[in-house]
Amino acid sequence: MPVDSVGNTLSTANKLNITSLNSNISEWVGKSDPNDYYTCNVSGRSSFNLALNDLSANADVQLLDKNGAVVAGSYSRKRKAESISRTLETGSYYIRVYRVGDANSSYKLSVSGNEAPQLLQFGTDKSSYQLGETVKLTNATVFDGNGVTDLAQVDFRLQKDGGNWDIISNVNKFSTDGNNNRASFNYAISNLTGGKYQLWAKAYDKSGAISNTYQTSFSISANEAPQSLQFGTDKSSYQLGETVKLTNATVFDGNGVTDLAQVDFRLQKDGGSWDIISNVDKFSAQGSDNRNASFNYGISGLSNGKYQLWARAYDKSGATSNTYQTSFSISQPAPVVADPGDWFDQNIQSDGIRAATRLRFADNVLDRNDIISILREGKDNSVVDATEVKDLRTLVSNASYLKIPEHVRVLANKVVNGDVANQKYQGNTLGNLDVGSSDIQLENLISKWFYGSDRPTTSYTYQYASGSLFQNGISYQDIKQGVINDCFLLAGLAETAFRSPSTIESMFIDNGDNTFSVRFWQNGVADYVTVDRYLPTTDTGYLAYANKGNHYNNSTNELWVTLAEKAYAQLNESGWIYQDNTNSYKGISHGGYVADAFSQITGRKVSSFNALDFNSIVNAFNSGQSIGLATKSTGVASNILADHGYAVVGYNSSTQKFTLFNPWGIDNGSSKSGILELGWNEIASNFSYWDSTTTIST
């Protein structure tokens, strides 16, 4: 019998000392040696090819992950060769060769690999195009650890209006900016018809190894009717002989300012008939967006009376906008003391911002959409001047008077007064708003805080997640931890959901545009970030982090947990949640304390690092406090995770057993149960301390 030189268990597996996964081994398995185990590390996303040849009897082979779970296997019958080909993520893996039947079998094991391309990403130069425009990619890059010359091509697919995916031209030319492993490329698409599009891509190297998939969306507008026609008058009351002038007169045309034909006006005096008056046919683009048009208009020679001014815009195809009207009056001059002006006249110096604010405040509240519109008034002439910066800050500082909701005030404050997190936007330098800031910088600040477009960095692909914020109520059992080490946060969310579902519900504000503003607490003061519904997914479309295992396109998805986790990753960049201060999922994976999560989720005072004491924990639980337990770093029972946070969700006074919830989730596919019932001796021997909040009521 040949000598067995290969480990027979995971713990004794032979280390393959290989470079770029390239190894050949001759060995055997049989009755006295039924299993051979090998282990290897993959330092970057790589292709993996395994062949089991020269079999003298039947034997099979499996590829296992670091926990021993089967990733792939080959199970041919009799003496047929076995093979496995996969793309592997970074990590440790095992290879198991084992006998099938009673006969001994010699074999030759060949393992080869090539580091696959990764970090494929790109955007489009605009999100919306007019018919006939060319769609151009921006920031199109892909990483290959074997060098740019190893790249073969990037394949593209295009989907229109949710239909079939069509194969379109690919890219096979790449350039580098000095980093021989990072490639950039150019790509453009023209002659598209009107519709909503998804652009999908995947990179290949010369060995056939594939990158992550990546996709982005854009739209092509055919003819869009004008919309959002609005205006005001520079005063509400005029003296006889004065000219009535329009202010903040704007209209939007998705096909561009040049598509506008005219704005027709009608005038009614003292409730009488509507008279046709002169129209407007000259328009100017506002800032860099040539779809927003402004125009001038004035009326003179009017007699005393009360007037209604009505208007409607037309484009060159005859499509019409909304109608809009405003009122004013003409009166004889009166020898009265001049009106010192209203709050807006006294406090807001910029004509555009003053008019926009007065118009938006007509209902005595400035909501989220109002504030976004007013902020954008600071972008005129492609630069934010000193007056506009001062006015925007004045609005935020008078949030109470202007009835600005608290979450809107907090987000607007980050735009106009600054935040630590403003250093970066989508990986590029951004900076706080200041005198001389460009219209692009201001728009990026608005997008970052109000639209959640500065998503946390991740190696996974973002895809739009179906489902709803809540499904069938709020429960701690909604929690299922993903691939990052943030059990402290998810245990805090689980315990809060158990004790106070209303606290979880009030964390989220649905903005009605597929974004959510999410609240956390800094030392008892509410802070907010905004997230959209795009979530990191694996190559097969399953959520990678919280809600792990749910497919992104499942309409039954319950999103509150994964959106809270995403918001927490974004909030990390603001520098106060005790993580690494980066806008990334990796940034919140360094571990933490459940006490910090309790404080940040509930805004309540917490008690942390409490020594284990049976009566103290029972009294805290019975009084309604939220409780988290932290396990020891070593020496824990086989059904308990070391260095892990658990939520206490039950205590039975008859059995004196505690019910604990593991944030890995109920059906986590491992030997570590999602629900544990433990007596005090088990608590004392496996856990090191407990954290709690003050009482939370539902």
pLDDT in tens, 644-674: 999 999 999 999 999 999 999 988 778 888 9
Q: What is the mean pLDDT of residues 156-173?
A: 92
pTM (2 decimals)?
0.54
Give the fold, CATH level 3, of 227-331.
Answer: Immunoglobulin-like (2.60.40)
Q: Is the pLDDT of residue 244 over 50?
A: yes
Containing H/E element for 311? strand 305-315
Q: Is the pLDDT of residue 437 over 60?
A: yes
At 427, is the secondary structure helix, strand, or coil?
A: coil
pLDDT band at 341 (very low <50, low <70, confident <90, very high): low
User: What does the pLDDT read at residue 619?
Assistant: 94
pLDDT band at 333 (very low <50, low <70, confident <90, very high): low
- Largest Cα–Cα distance in the chain? 120
Q: Contact, 349 vs 391, CB < 8 A?
A: yes
User: What does the pLDDT read at residue 17?
Assistant: 60
User: What does the pLDDT read at residue 82?
Assistant: 93
Q: Pick the closest to residue 231 from 323, 154, 143, 169 (CA basis).
A: 323
φ, ψ for residue 215, nearest 5 deg: -145, 155
Q: Is the pLDDT of residue 114 over 80?
A: no
- Alpha-carbon gap, residue 529 to 519, rounded angstroms: 7
- Alpha-carbon gap, residue 692 to 626, rounded angstroms: 5
Between residues 357 and 21, which one has the greater pLDDT? Answer: 357
**CATH class of the domain at 118-221:** mainly beta
Work out the percent of the chain whose per-residue pLDDT is above 70. Answer: 97
List pLDDT tens digits, range 493-504: 999 999 999 999
Q: Contact, 564 vs 600, CB < 8 A?
A: no
Beta-bridged to residue 93, according to DSSP, are 40
At 571, is the secondary structure helix, strand, or coil?
A: helix
Give the fold, CATH level 3, of 10-114.
Answer: Jelly Rolls (2.60.120)
Q: Is the pLDDT of residue 334 over 50?
A: no
User: What does the pLDDT read at residue 449?
Assistant: 96
Residue the block writes with tokens 């600005």: 404
Between residues 122 and 697, which one has the greater pLDDT? Answer: 122
Q: Is the pLDDT of residue 407 over 60?
A: yes
Domain assignments of the chain as residue spans, ordered by start: 10-114, 118-221, 227-331, 343-450, 461-602, 606-695
- Alpha-carbon gap, residue 252 to 247, rounded angstroms: 16
Q: Pick the closest to residue 677 from 641, 636, 639, 627 (CA basis).
A: 639
**CATH class of the domain at 606-695:** alpha beta
- Alpha-carbon gap, residue 589 to 578, rounded angstroms: 11
User: What does the pLDDT read at residue 156?
Assistant: 95
Containing H/E element for 136? strand 135-143
Q: Quick one: CA dihedral 278, 279, 284, 285, positive or negative?
A: positive
Q: Is the pLDDT of residue 591 over 60?
A: yes
Q: What is the mean pLDDT of residues 577-591?
A: 93
Which tokens belong to 500?
């106070």
Q: What is the mean pLDDT of residues 131-144?
A: 88
- Alpha-carbon gap, residue 56 to 534, rounded angstroms: 52
CA geometry: angle at 374 spanning 519 and 355, to 5°? 145
Of the CA atoms within 13 Å of residue 387, those in its CB half-sphere come to 10
Q: Pick the closest to residue 186 from 243, 138, 114, 253 (CA basis).
A: 138
Q: What is the mean pLDDT of residues 56-85?
A: 92
User: What does the pLDDT read at residue 2?
Assistant: 64
Residue the block writes with tokens 């824990």: 636
Residues 6+ apart with CB under 8 A from 296: 245, 246, 249, 280, 282
Mean pLDDT rounded to a whole number for the chain: 90
User: What does the pLDDT read at residue 243?
Assistant: 92
- Alpha-carbon gap, residue 72 to 82, rounded angstroms: 12
User: To 10 degrees, what angle do helices 368-376 and 406-416 make?
Assistant: 20
User: What does the pLDDT read at residue 338?
Assistant: 38
| Fold equal for 118-221 and 606-695 | no
User: What does the pLDDT read at residue 49?
Assistant: 85
Between residues 194 and 77, which one has the greater pLDDT? Answer: 77
- Alpha-carbon gap, residue 536 to 484, rounded angstroms: 12
Q: Is the pLDDT of residue 116 over 90?
A: no
User: What does the pLDDT read at residue 211?
Assistant: 86
Annotate 274-286 with three-state secondary structure.
EEEEEEECCCEEE
Which range has the top average pLDDT, 255-259, 285-289, 683-687?
683-687
User: What does the pLDDT read at residue 445?
Assistant: 95
DSSP-assigned letters across all residues of 436-502? T-BHHHHHHHHHHHHS--SPPB-SSEEEEPPSBS-SSS--GGG----SSS-HHHHHHHHHHHHH-HH
